[in-house]
């Protein structure tokens, strides 16, 4: 296969990461599938000659470096990095502990940074590579009960936007992916930690939100297998999109945010335009 690539995927043992690994293998690519327990990752994907399952806790920089070294020792290169591993700390800001907020940002922001820092020297040496980072519509528009998660995802958005022009001269491309609601395991007990209810003022809305999300789990409209196939397709383009709105609800979120920003820019436009020095 002339365009066969080596995909390095974090959080590949379940959810979107698992679908991505399977989709890339089905398309004829080589996959380095990572997770905290590589035996579980390998079992979930199934045996394949082009598969290497590697231990990687994204919050540990030494794990990231070791995983990249194993991938290069086995396959000689990495062509596509997918920062996918994640979790979800949900709740009202006042009820989320400082440690929970730190853990959220550690996994969703510093985790991808750790892995990317380990891969970029290889990409620069190759003068090629695609860096895909799974963000969220919560990285485009914040929402109630998502303060920690959105803070991390907004950080991912700013980091990737700023990193892209730094590495573009070396032939390295970036793609942010903002999924809406997909039928992954994000809302399961394995992935979601709810804040401990402790403030009466939030109690009713907490019950309503948790009940609504529990009823949504397993019924989300997005098909992660289709998203995985779409990302493998986009990953094969010479110029992949810098952003990909994943799902109809994501497209709506993009449009709503764009319209909101335009409206906010115009609300006090006259005042905004008067703030320069008089001699400017």
Known catalytic residue at 226: no
Nearest one of 19, 46, 25, 10 to 183, comparing CA atoms: 19
Known catalytic residue at 135: yes
Binning the chain into helix, strand and coil, the percentages to the nearest 5 are 50, 15, 30
Nearest one of 20, 165, 3, 150 to 90, comparing CA atoms: 150
Q: What is the dihedral of CA 66, 76, 40, 120, to 10 degrees?
A: 50
Q: Which residues pair with 91 in a beta bridge?
A: 146
What does the buried/exposed string (b/e) look like for 17-32 if buried means 16 or more CB atoms within 10 Å of the residue's CB? bbbbbbbbbebebbbb
What are residue 144's phi and psi, to 5 degrees?
-55, 140
Question: Catalytic pick from 22, 136, 153, 202?
Answer: 153
Question: Catalytic pick from 22, 149, 194, 202?
Answer: 149
Question: Catalytic pick from 135, 136, 194, 202?
Answer: 135
Known catalytic residue at 257: no
Give 241's DSSP letter.
-
Residues 6+ apart with CB under 8 A from 31: 6, 7, 9, 12, 21, 24, 25, 45, 48, 50, 51, 52
> Which residues participate in catalysis according to the annotation?
135, 149, 153
């Amino acid at each position: 296969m002339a365009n066969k690539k080596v995909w390095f995927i974090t959080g590949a043992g379940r959810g979107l990461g698992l679908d991505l690994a399977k989709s890339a293998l089905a398309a004829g690519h080589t996959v380095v599938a990572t997770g905290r327990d590589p035996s579980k990752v390998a079992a979930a994907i199934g045996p394949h000659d082009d598969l290497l399952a590697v231990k990687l806790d994204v919050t540990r920089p030494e794990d990231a470096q070791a995983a990249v070294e194993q991938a290069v020792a086995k396959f000689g290169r990495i062509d596509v990095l997918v920062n996918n591993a994640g979790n979800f700390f949900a709740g009202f800001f006042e009820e989320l502990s400082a440690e929970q907020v730190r853990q959220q940002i550690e996994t969703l922001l510093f985790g991808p940074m750790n892995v990317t820092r380990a891969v970029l020297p290889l990409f620069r040496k190759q003068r090629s590579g695609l860096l895909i980072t799974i963000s969220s519509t919560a990285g485009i528009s914040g929402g109630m009960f998502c303060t920690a998660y959105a803070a991390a995802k907004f950080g991912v958005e700013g980091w990737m936007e700023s990193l892209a022009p730094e590495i573009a001269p070396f032939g390295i491309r970036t793609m942010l992916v903002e999924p809406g609601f997909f039928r992954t395991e994000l809302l399961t007990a394995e992935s979601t930690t709810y804040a401990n209810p402790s403030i009466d003022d939030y109690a009713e809305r907490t019950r309503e939100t948790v009940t609504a999300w529990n009823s949504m789990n397993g019924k989300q409209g997005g098909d992660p297998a289709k998203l995985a196939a779409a990302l493998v397709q986009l990953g094969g383009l010479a110029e992949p999109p810098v952003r990909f709105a994943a799902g109809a609800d994501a497209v709506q979120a993009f449009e709503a945010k764009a319209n909101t920003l335009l409206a906010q820019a115009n609300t006090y436009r006259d005042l905004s335009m008067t703030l320069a020095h008089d001699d400017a």
